[in-house]
Amino acid sequence: MSTVLLRTTVLLALSNVFMTVAWYAHLKNLAQRPWWVAALLSWGVALFEYLIQVPANRIGYTELTLPQLKILQEVISLSVFAPFALFYMGQPLKLDYLWACLCLLGAVYFIFRS
């Protein structure tokens, strides 16, 4: 794995932690508050996501094509989201997650093959 791919992957994973929290944690933690409170707090969290995601994409784009960068982002996003949904939000584990994962692996294969 190249240094660029490793750095991009690590930065995208970290940015996705912030993104997932910004997008979904309010459903559990701020459900009783007005939507605009959740929106403002989510924007604050999302700022950190963008401060990491933008450099990650710029680094990645030096060696990856735009479609490769996008598929990498989607795989990382769902890799972060699944444990968040299971452990933090208490969602049940379903076999459909396995099928979705296999579809993503297919997308990775087709977009990264030479």
How much is the average pLDDT of 2-8?
96
Residue 62 confidence (pLDDT) above 90: yes
**pLDDT tops 90 at residue 54:** yes
Q: What pLDDT score does 31 carry?
A: 92
Q: Residue 101 has what pLDDT?
A: 86
Record the pTM.
0.87
CA-to-CA dists, residue 34 to 19, 20, 22, 37, 89, angstroms: 20, 20, 16, 6, 20
Contact between residue 4 and residue 62 where contact means Cβ atoms under 8 Å apart: yes
H/E segment holding residue 54: helix 35-60
73-94 residue pLDDT tens: 999 998 999 999 999 999 999 9
Tokens of 20: 């997932």
Confidence of residue 97 (pLDDT cuts 50, 70, 90): confident
Query: Is the per-residue pLDDT at 114 higher than 80?
Result: no
* Packing angle of the helix pair 3-20, 66-83 (nearest 10 deg): 50
The percentage of the chain sitting over the pLDDT mark of 90, rounded to a whole number, equals 85
Q: What confidence tens digit (pLDDT) does each residue in 17-43 have?
A: 999 999 999 999 999 999 999 999 999
